Structure 1
């Protein structure tokens, strides 16, 4: 019987032979490939199967005027909620033959090169999971799926950010699914996308602001980049472009940082998506922080494994809002309307 990572035999109280995590070191590698993972902090996960956290909400402001001699009312409501997510195991492996390890070649040691490459791929796999991608052939179903808890013959799968921001809503109603706002012509993320304007951006940011949180960052892909460039140029009164990683400009809700994200593209089915929020309320929950270990093999080769067991923790879903069904281009129907008006 295999001894699992959490196993030990008395008088031992833990497996002290496990090597320390290199998570903090690898998080700096290929930072532009995983901008959300590199932005959010970490939290400590104590269960290998299911991680839970408690959230609470404030009541909306109300009139509060009282007599000097007032009765004690003391009305208290229990509004705390428990939210959970499953941990997921990420594994990336590399194997290099002894002969190739000995050979002199461009690029230096082959195993070092392969591990460097696998480190970036490992991080990109985690970022992919943060979005809930790859869980269904239909991307628009995949990203909303809940977690799958690990079992004897079942791999644990974490739920992504869309699932939590949807706030348990199963469908779009009045162009909303929790804090996911649909701007396509049918209002349910199935119709033709409409142009991303300052008004629509403000609607997304207003959703966060109304919950008592100040939005700080926006992530979008190359397909929505022209629309943000247009807004930035108008607001800043000069030729400003979202080039590379980030630009910042003032909105009605304070200074917002705009970041490019490669996964928010048509290749992954998310080219019409914009994600906004205060990412201090999102954490990468680590049960087993990233480690690199040698793997025994009976062939003439050296094998290494990169291993992480973790989950996504969205501590306050109201700190985020997602706009879907957006485009940098004016919709066809709007163009027709404009032509009619011109006539």
Structure 2
């Protein structure tokens, strides 16, 4: 008689010789993209505590008509301004026992596997810091916080992009906090969000254009992609979807590339946010570029440490604008239907 796969003979209680079936590659679950970090490039930092950059502005255009014989005036003003951010130390560690290093297991060599995984996690932590997230329990306070310079018993914390794009303003006035524009009903990022329309998008882009910079890229989350899909369909004349890939649209200010960003979501308190600008004016300043070093340990294990010391450099805050308190038309309609249903 043939022996079936489930067959066994006493004293056996099951066929223990069957090898467990499992997909050979371990599936890593979670976001791994760092689109802003990838786009902005790097610059060199020479101070371990703080990094500064100097910006200057042109005068506004004015009438310039003079007599043939005119006096030399030569009025010159010093309008240069220094902006500073603190460097922040990012550390990600991995430790694997010597026994596990030798083991033959799914996913291959355990240390190589952990290095690949931790590399992505290390970059994601830096992207998280670029937004100023995790510095306060209230996201809307966290993202605007100033930098914290390192002290003997205090970790350095960089200020995120919202802080610099707010241009030193501590609160919203008439729907503006520097170049952060609030479109919610309260005009201060505390009220009910309103629908993202082409007029509102143009208002955000116009803020950048007026400063002499051409907006090139827009980052937004899944909650706002419905509104952009409508724009794309109308402009391109067919059913166009923004879903991970870059969608380029012609606007009043030239071609603008739209990108999805996973941190711009309700999970992180930024689902109603759209960030626009020319990201050539933003850099990841490196004091100590990412290094992987062996860490001595007195236990029977091998330890590795990822180490980066860096900061965010927003070279020209006027090259950016942020819209907050926005939602897609679908969300507005859904809320209206729900409100009507409750009223009934």
Q: What range describes the TM-score normalised by the shorter chain of this pair?
A: 0.7 to 0.9
Matching residue of 2:218: 218
Matching residue of 2:236: 236
Matched residues in 2 for 1:147 and 1:295: separation?
30
Matched residues in 2 for 1:133 and 1:158: separation?
10
Matching residue of 1:70: 70
- C-alpha spacing 1:283/1:306, structure 2 compared with 1 (3 Å): same
Matching residue of 1:33: 33
Shift of 1:245: 3.0
Matching residue of 1:22: none
- C-alpha spacing 1:253/1:106, structure 2 compared with 1 (3 Å): same
Is 1:207 the counterpart of 2:207? The answer is yes
Shift of 1:31: 10
- C-alpha spacing 1:334/1:76, structure 2 compared with 1 (3 Å): farther
Shift of 1:335: 5.9
Is 1:302 the counterpart of 2:316? The answer is no
Shift of 1:331: 4.0
SS of the equivalent of 1:200 reads helix
SS of the equivalent of 1:89 reads strand
Matching residue of 2:60: 60
> C-alpha offsets along residues 185-239 of structure 1, whole Å, 9 cap, x if unaligned?
0000000000000000000000000000000000000000111001111111111
**Contact 2:297-2:303 within 8 A present in 1 as well:** yes
Matched residues in 2 for 1:131 and 1:333: separation?
29
**Contact 1:32-1:245 within 8 A present in 2 as well:** no
Shift of 1:333: 12
1:5-16 → structure 2 map (5 Å cutoff): none
**Contact 2:43-2:283 within 8 A present in 1 as well:** yes
Q: Which residues of structure 2 form unaligned runs of 5+?
A: 1-29
Is 1:250 the counterpart of 2:257? The answer is no
Matching residue of 2:275: 275
Matched residues in 1 for 2:276 and 2:120: separation?
25
Matched residues in 1 for 2:240 and 2:100: separation?
49
In terms of Rg, which structure is larger? 2
Matching residue of 2:7: none
Q: Which residues of structure 1 form unaligned runs of 5+?
A: 1-29
Matching residue of 2:87: 87
Shift of 1:165: 0.3
Matched residues in 2 for 1:333 and 1:210: separation?
35
**Contact 2:97-2:300 within 8 A present in 1 as well:** yes
SS of the equivalent of 1:115 reads helix
**Contact 1:31-1:38 within 8 A present in 2 as well:** no
Shift of 1:291: 0.2
Matching residue of 1:328: 328
Matching residue of 1:177: 177
Matching residue of 1:118: 118
Q: CA RMSD in A?
A: 1.8
Shift of 1:69: 2.0
Matched residues in 2 for 1:228 and 1:331: separation?
15
When normalised by structure 1's length, the TM-score is 0.87
Task: Tell me which stretches of 4 or more aligned residues in structure 1 moved more than 2 Å.
Answer: 329-336
Matched residues in 2 for 1:67 and 1:155: separation?
61
